[in-house]
A = this chain, B = another copy of it.
Amino acid sequence: MAETDVRSNRFSRQIGYVHCFADKVKRFPGLARRETWKVGKDDPRRVVHAFKVGIALTIVSLLYLMEPLFKGIGQNAMWAVMTVVVVMEFTVGATLSKGLNRGLGTLLAASLAFLTEYIADAPGQIFRAVFIAVAVFIIGTMTSYVRFIPYIKKNYDYGVLIFLLTFNLITVSSYRIDDVWGIAQDRIFTIAIGCAICLVMSILVFPNWSGEDLHNNTVSRLEGLANSIQVCVREYFNDSEESACQDDSSEDPIYKGYKTVLDSKTTDDTLALQASWEPRYLRYCHRTPWHQYAKVGAALRYFSYTVVALHGCLQSEIQTPKSIRALYKDSCIRLGEEASKVLRELAKSIRNNRKFCPEILSNNLKEALQNLNSALKSQPQLILGSRNSRATNTPVQAVQHHDQKLEEDTRTSLPGIKNTGSSSRLGCRSREQSRELTKKVLRTQLSKVAIVNLEFSEALPFAAFTSLLVEMVAKLDRVMDEVEDLGRMAQFSEYEDDGNDHKIVVTCENQSGVASAGSE
């Protein structure tokens, strides 16, 4: 009886597996179609690139297929096909870097191989075999080791690989074939043909420039961060109900703004490296300092960590009551707006290749800071009791006023924990997080501590929020520096007041006098 049970159990489980698998297979075509469609829709240049590869391959195949061409090149046309497959990359910089690496590696390896053959050209097959084996071992070991050196790994990894490959092919072949020189010549020649086809397709037909990608990425990251800050500060002071509807549609706009910045290091470094291979001086009259873009990216990443911390203030369970927050709403929002305006101004400056005027931006920031400062001074009992109790005239009244408001607040919502509106938004935004919230030990303990001591928990988060806001503005400085340096290095055109926001004409300090036409 029990055995039958076990058997039927196992059987039903197997049936389950089969059903699950069949379901997966059934859903696969739809999923694959959607995914395939999305890849092209996200970036139509990908479709173009795919066609470019197809055309390049067809052209290189003609070398083999067409009688007159085949007579010239012969069997070695295969190397050209191989080169096209391996070298053709999405952007011009990547293709150039791979193509030149492949060419250089092959040339160097060929020279070294002939040197080896010249030395090994002694009587005695066994001596030659041993010599070749030893050479292969030594070069193989050394080359593999060299590939670990960061500078080589970064710039010439592929070249060293091809060097090793070619060296081995030629040296080992030379043992049995007499006309190695002919083989090597053919190989170099066909590789050159392959590289040439790749470069022509890559540079002349709808080129994708790594530098342009880097440029656009930097601009869009600056704008993303600006959005993040703006939304973040507004949401902190907003009645949360209206934003709950917004969030339903897509993911959190704050997170969306800074998430690409956080993990941008690898992308930035790769693009900057590829861009440095690109012959951009064909298009502008100066070398664009791509490494400076990477530096701007680093400053932005550093800046974005503060934005993450600021966002953390929104998400934390312990919140300062709305009534207290409302007191400083305007000045905080103003500071946030100014900070995002600065970021947008920097984005505009990079996009238009035009310098910006740091003085104007600093002045606006300074005003906003002073505004917040006076707001904090006029309602000082929140932040500082010790010194301002003397400065303000009626601290007692203010305290009483607050206490009333506080009591109202605590009556309507659970004290210390995010009030109802906020928590509904939270749930709406990230269910996973809210699930985590409910199940966990530590968090509840944290909240308990908070409930017991409303005094401790209630002003601290707001103080942190304000302080982070100020800290963020201080960090903006580094971003501004880097963008300013970029402007100087890339010889952006001089700052011009477009007259939208500021009616005052300001003469900037750093008029270097070089007014190149960096039109894009």
Contacts and interface: CB of A to CB of B under 8 A. Distances in A.
B456 A464 contact: no
A471 interface: yes
Given A50-B145, A442-B476, A380 B61 contact: no
Contacts of A78: 169, 172-173
B455 A64 contact: no
B132 A65 contact: yes
A369 interface: yes
Interface stretch (A110-118, A208-216, A382-390): A382-390
Nearest to A146: B36
A82 B165 contact: yes
Interface string A442-477: 110110010001111011110110111011011111
A53 interface: yes
A168 B85 contact: yes
A376 B133 contact: no
B443 A136 contact: no
A292 interface: no
A146 B474 CA distance: 45
A14 to B, nearest CB: 21
A373 B91 CA distance: 57
For A81, A144, A149, the residue with the greatest tally of chain B CB atoms inside 10 Å of its CB is: A144
Contacts of A395: 385
A365 B441 CA distance: 11
A436 interface: yes
Contact of A145 (B46, B175, B385): B46
Contact of A161 (B86, B165, B382): B86
A251 B178 CA distance: 58
Nearest to A317: B474
A268 to B, nearest CB: 11
Interface in A5-48: 35-36, 39-40, 46-47
A478 interface: yes
For A35, A55, A133, the residue with the greatest tally of chain B CB atoms inside 10 Å of its CB is: A133
A284 interface: no
B64 A172 contact: yes
B446 A473 contact: yes
Contacts of A326: none
Interface in A220-267: 262-263, 265-266
A421 interface: no
Interface residues of A, number: 127
A287 interface: no
A403 interface: yes
A427 interface: no
Contacts of A263: 263, 265-266
A64 to B, nearest CB: 5
Contact of A403 (B148, B386, B477): B386
A137 B441 CA distance: 60
Contacts of A47: 145
Nearest to A448: B366
A58 B132 CA distance: 9
A225 to B, nearest CB: 14
A75 B511 CA distance: 68
Nearest to A437: B477
A496 interface: no
Nearest to A308: B305
A54 B308 contact: no
B50 A144 contact: yes
Nearest to A358: B441
Contact of A399 (B66, B262, B359, B385): B385
B50 A141 contact: yes
A434 to B, nearest CB: 13
Given A86-B165, A141-B50, A362-B441, A58 B133 contact: yes
A385 B377 contact: no
Contacts of A467: 460-461, 463-464, 467
B387 A385 contact: no
B377 A61 contact: no
B384 A403 contact: no
Interface of A: 35-36, 39-40, 46-47, 49-51, 53-58, 61-62, 64-66, 70, 77-78, 81-82, 85-86, 88, 129, 132-133, 136-138, 140-146, 148-151, 161, 164-165, 168-169, 172-173, 175-176, 262-263, 265-266, 301-302, 305-306, 308-309, 312-313, 316-318, 358-359, 362, 365-366, 369-370, 373, 376-377, 380-389, 391, 395, 398-399, 402-403, 406, 436, 440-443, 445-446, 449, 453-456, 458-461, 463-464, 466-468, 470-471, 473-478, 480-481
17 contacts: A35-B150, A40-B148, A50-B148, A54-B140, A57-B136, A57-B140, A61-B168, A78-B172, A78-B173, A85-B168, A305-B308, A305-B312, A309-B471, A382-B386, A383-B456, A384-B458, A385-B388
